[in-house]
Amino acid sequence: MKKIAISSVALGMLVVASAAQAQSSITLYGELDNAIAYYNNTGHASLVELQGADLTANQWGMKGVEDLGNRFQAIFNLENGFNINSGKLSQGGRLFGKNAWVGVNSDVFGKITVGRQLDTTVDLVQPLTADVYGPAFTTPGDADNNDNTFRLQNAIKYTSPTYAGLQFELMYALGGVAGSASSQESSSAALAYTHGAFSVAAGFVFARNDGPGGVGTADQTQNSSVTPLYGDAAFVGSRLITHVAAQYVWNKLTANVRYSNAQWKPYAIHAAFNQKETFNTGAASLDYQVTPALALNIGYTYTKSTGGSSATYNNVAAGMEYSLSRRTTLYAIGGYSHAHGTTFSQDGSHIVSAGGTVGDLESSSGTPNQVALIFGLTTKF
């Protein structure tokens, strides 16, 4: 009887320990994406290169959850981005530049996270857009952050539970400037609703980069000649981006539409970039799941900039993904861009002809047209 009692106690302790372990965990995860890319014109010449992150991302991270009882959990996420062909860190050389936050989650009261993180439009609106098929399908130069070029640091974010298909997020990033609560601050809010096959979301993000050299709680966006400053000169000013998107899923077909308005306001005046530049973007896409392994997608994006300069960008992209397994996918993407009008020089000192720019991919063309062809492989762990 004594031996049986001891065994029972030991067994009970193992059960309790197993239950606690099941409720608390740390997960290591990541994605690797690389491709051969061809551009008919980058700057003023054709280009063939190895280029990563054309469908998914190159990243690894750790996320964890600890059960605190009473339906509360402590959570965290550390996520690193890197260049797969050079091994260099992305996001300005930050160790955990994609995500670095800690928080508390409750299925009753919602989630609060604090640290460096994505804004609310990226969380709720972007999943309903064609950016999920790769950066070739997004806004030229990512002028509206549809491809989440920038993140917010020093940020507090609240994510609500889902109420009958409705969810919202609120976010504020503290500038941390003595004597000026609004300097370098950022704010964001978004709302999403899903009912059956239909989903819709809308939100905004405001980022004030008014510190020395354009410092702020939001990263710079200098991806190509589409945006006002894309050289060594830092953008000192504010960006106000409003975004709305809708999605409908019918059997194997998914349709997406979206509209965004991005206003870039300079605080440091340049010779040509001396007033607010506004980007209006409309886009639509279709995705068809031919088989469980094969998907085809196509998208069209129209962007018009007005202000100190004026240009239009007509972009078409098409893609194919073939899943070799649950983790590994082969893909092919083709993109075409035609630009008309003018944009800014790298330092904002004068006006130049706008160059074709395929989404948020390589730098702009030296002519009004640009063609991109990409063949790649992505795998997850």
Indicate whether 20 belongs to any domain: no
103-119 mean pLDDT: 98
Number of CB atoms found within 10 A of residue 12's CB:
10
Residue 7, pLDDT > 80, answer no
In a domain, 191, yes or no: yes
Look at 14 and 180; give whichever has higher pLDDT: 180
Determine the average pLDDT of the residues in 67-81. Answer: 97
Task: Give per-residue pLDDT as tens, 226-257.
Answer: 999 998 899 999 999 999 999 999 999 999 99
Residue 42 Cα to chain centre, angstroms: 24
Q: What is the pLDDT of residue 95?
A: 96
Of 75, 84, 79, 83, give the one whose Cα is nearest residue 98. 79
Residue 279 domain-assigned (yes or no): yes
Average pLDDT value for residue range 364-378: 98
Rounded to whole angstroms, the Cα distance separating 343 from 141 reads: 12
Residue 342 has a pLDDT of 98
pLDDT at residue 12, rounded to an integer: 43
pLDDT score for 362: 86
For the record, the structure tokens of 200 come out as 């819709």
Q: On the CB side of 173, how many CA atoms lie within 13 Å of its CA?
A: 29
As to burial, measured by CB atoms within 10 angstroms (0-12 exposed, 13-18 middle, 19+ buried), residue 245 is buried
Q: Supply the range of the domain harboring residue 121.
A: 25-380
192 CB-near residues (< 8 Å, 6+ apart): 124, 125, 128, 166, 167, 168, 199, 200, 201
Closest CA to 245 of 260, 267, 266: 260
Q: Which residues pair with 35 in a beta bridge?
A: 51, 376
pLDDT at 205: 98
To 10 degrees, the CA torsion angle through 152, 104, 96, 378? -100
Tell me what the mean pLDDT of segment 73-84 comes to.
98
Tens of pLDDT, residues 18-72: 444 447 999 999 999 999 999 999 999 999 999 999 999 999 999 999 999 999 9
pLDDT of residue 381 exceeding 90, the answer is yes
In this prediction, residue 150 carries a pLDDT of 97
- Domain of 348, CATH number, reads 2.40.160.10
The answer to whether residue 149 scores a pLDDT higher than 90 is yes
Rounded to an integer, the average pLDDT of 146-165 is 98
The 10s digit of each residue's pLDDT in 262-281 is: 999 999 999 999 999 999 99
In a domain, 114, yes or no: yes
Residue 17 within a domain: no
For residue range 301-348, list pLDDT tens digits in order. 999 999 999 999 999 999 999 999 999 999 999 999 999 999 999 999
Q: Is residue 132 part of a domain?
A: yes
Position 23 scores a pLDDT of: 76
Q: Looking at 160-252, which runs of residues are DSSP E strands?
A: 166-173, 186-195, 198-209, 237-250
Mapping DSSP to helix (H, G, I), strand (E, B) and coil, where does residue 19 land?
helix
The answer as to whether 148 is a domain residue is yes
Determine the 3-state secondary structure of 47 from DSSP.
Answer: strand
Structurally, the chain folds into a number of domains equal to: 1
Give kind and range of the element (H or E) at residue 120: helix 120-124
> Do the domain assignments include residue 271?
yes
Mean pLDDT of the chain: 94
CA dihedral 159, 163, 164, 166 (to 10 degrees): -40
